[in-house]
């Protein structure tokens, strides 16, 4: 897909000192990792993310929640970074300072080669203790299963320090963002002069508030998303295209 990049967008990036990119699940859609909107297909169609990605859901039925996460883990493990992830690695090298904040839990930015990625919502490939004891955090990823048949609580992973159930190392709806990620994201946003929102619906807070924080700090706002979001009207530049087409086009134009 040929994407036209506004001259003003290129000028903003060419003169930027600090660039922050915030990514959401849309950037991984082209890697075959479904967004939440698209994720509830097939076996999982009858559950909403809110029924699976909350502390209450885990307390009620940890086995069901683990089955969903193992299925998603398997999907993520088989996915490959796409042209959008790779273009962000190149963009980082083209500007004086670059920070990447992601809401994604799939690790695809890191696998593409991005460094110092701020993981706002954790990482799906890591396990942690469900009662947050201070024990050593074992990262024992269990085999994935696509079956919805019950396996029983006995097979669920347990914390080697305290015996409580382990849980996926992601931030669930209603949970706090890890302090380190919050601090790193806020510091980056305070310093940025260009903020790029990529593949996120701008509906999930506090991540969705970073763009307005950046605007208050005087940054130009760029949005890359094939569909409009609550951020679209406030953005200085909008590229209504998939990230895998838009980001390589931006990088190519900056190189010219």
What distance lies between CA 222 and its chain's CA centroid? Answer: 17
Partner touching 133 among Zn ion, ligand NAD, none, CB below 5 to 8 Å by kind? Zn ion
Strand 166-170 vs strand 122-129: parallel, antiparallel, or unpaired?
Answer: antiparallel
| Of 73 and 167, CB closest to Zn ion | 167
Q: Is 121 in the site for ligand NAD (CB under 6 A)?
A: yes
Separation in Å, CA 48 to CA 37, 39, 55, 168:
9, 9, 14, 18
Q: Is 168 in the site for ligand NAD (CB under 6 A)?
A: no
Cα dihedral 90, 211, 126, 173, rounded to 10, equals -150
Q: Is 85 in the site for ligand NAD (CB under 6 A)?
A: no
Containing H/E element for 211?
Answer: helix 210-216
Q: Is 82 in the site for ligand NAD (CB under 6 A)?
A: no
Provide the sign of the torsion angle of the four alpha carbons 34, 213, 107, 164, taken in this order. Answer: negative
Catalytic residue flag (residue 121): yes
User: In angstroms, what is the minimal distance from the CB of 161 to Zn ion?
Assistant: 5
Options 18, 109, 121, 186, the catalytic residue: 121
For ligand NAD, the binding residues in 3-22 under the rule CB under 6 A are: none
Q: Is 76 in the site for Zn ion (CB under 5 A)?
A: no
What token pair was written down for 121?
């919502």
| Of 104 and 130, CB closest to ligand NAD | 104
Q: Is 229 in the site for ligand NAD (CB under 6 A)?
A: yes
Cα(first)–Cα(last) distance of the chain, in Å? 19
Nearest residue to ligand NAD, using CB?
26
Task: Please choose, out of 98-106, 154-162, 177-185, 236-244, the segment that lies near Zn ion by the rule CB under 5 A.
Answer: 154-162
Q: Is 94 in the site for ligand NAD (CB under 6 A)?
A: no
The DSSP bridge partners found for residue 165 are: 158
- For the chain, the farthest-separated pair of C-alpha atoms sits apart, in whole angstroms, at 59
For Zn ion, the binding residues in 159-178 under the rule CB under 5 A are: 159, 161-162, 164
Order across the sheet with 237-239: list the strands: 118-119, 97-102, 18-23, 194-198, 220-224, 237-239
For Zn ion, the binding residues in 2-41 under the rule CB under 5 A are: none
User: In angstroms, what is the minimal distance from the CB of 15 to ligand NAD?
Assistant: 25
Q: Is 133 in the site for Zn ion (CB under 5 A)?
A: yes
**Strand ranges (DSSP E) for 7-59?**
18-23
Q: Is 104 in the site for ligand NAD (CB under 6 A)?
A: yes
What token pair was written down for 190?
């305070």
Enumerate binding residues for Zn ion (CB under 5 A): 129, 133, 135, 159, 161-162, 164
Catalytically active residues, by annotation: 121
Enumerate binding residues for ligand NAD (CB under 6 A): 24-30, 33, 35-37, 39, 103-106, 121, 199-201, 203-204, 224-227, 229, 242-244
């Amino acid at each position: 897909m040929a994407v036209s990049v506004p001259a003003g967008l290129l000028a903003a990036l060419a003169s930027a000192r600090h660039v922050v990119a915030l990514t959401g699940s849309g950037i991984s859609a082209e890697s075959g990792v479904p967004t939440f909107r698209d994720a509830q297909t097939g076996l999982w169609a009858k559950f909403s993310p809110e029924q699976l990605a909350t502390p209450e859901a885990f307390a009620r039925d940890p086995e069901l929640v683990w089955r969903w996460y193992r299925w998603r883990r398997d999907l993520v493990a088989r996915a490959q970074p796409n042209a959008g992830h790779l273009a962000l690695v190149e963009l980082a090298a083209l500007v004086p300072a670059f920070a990447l904040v992601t809401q994604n839990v799939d690790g695809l930015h890191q696998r593409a080669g991005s460094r110092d990625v701020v993981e706002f919502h954790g990482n799906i490939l890591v396990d942690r203790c469900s009662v947050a004891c201070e024990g050593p955090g074992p990262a024992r990823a269990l085999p994935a299963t696509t079956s919805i048949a019950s396996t029983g609580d006995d097979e669920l992973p347990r914390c080697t320090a305290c015996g409580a159930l382990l849980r996926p190392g992601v931030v669930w709806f209603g949970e706090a963002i890890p302090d380190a990620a919050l601090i790193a994201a806020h510091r980056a946003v305070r310093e940025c002069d260009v903020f790029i929102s990529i593949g996120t619906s701008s509906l999930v807070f506090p991540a969705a508030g970073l763009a307005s924080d950046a605007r208050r700090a005087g940054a130009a706002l760029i949005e890359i998303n094939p569909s409009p979001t609550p951020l679209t009207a406030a953005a200085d530049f909008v590229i209504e295209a998939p990230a895998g087409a838009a980001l390589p086009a931006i990088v190519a134009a900056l190189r010219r």
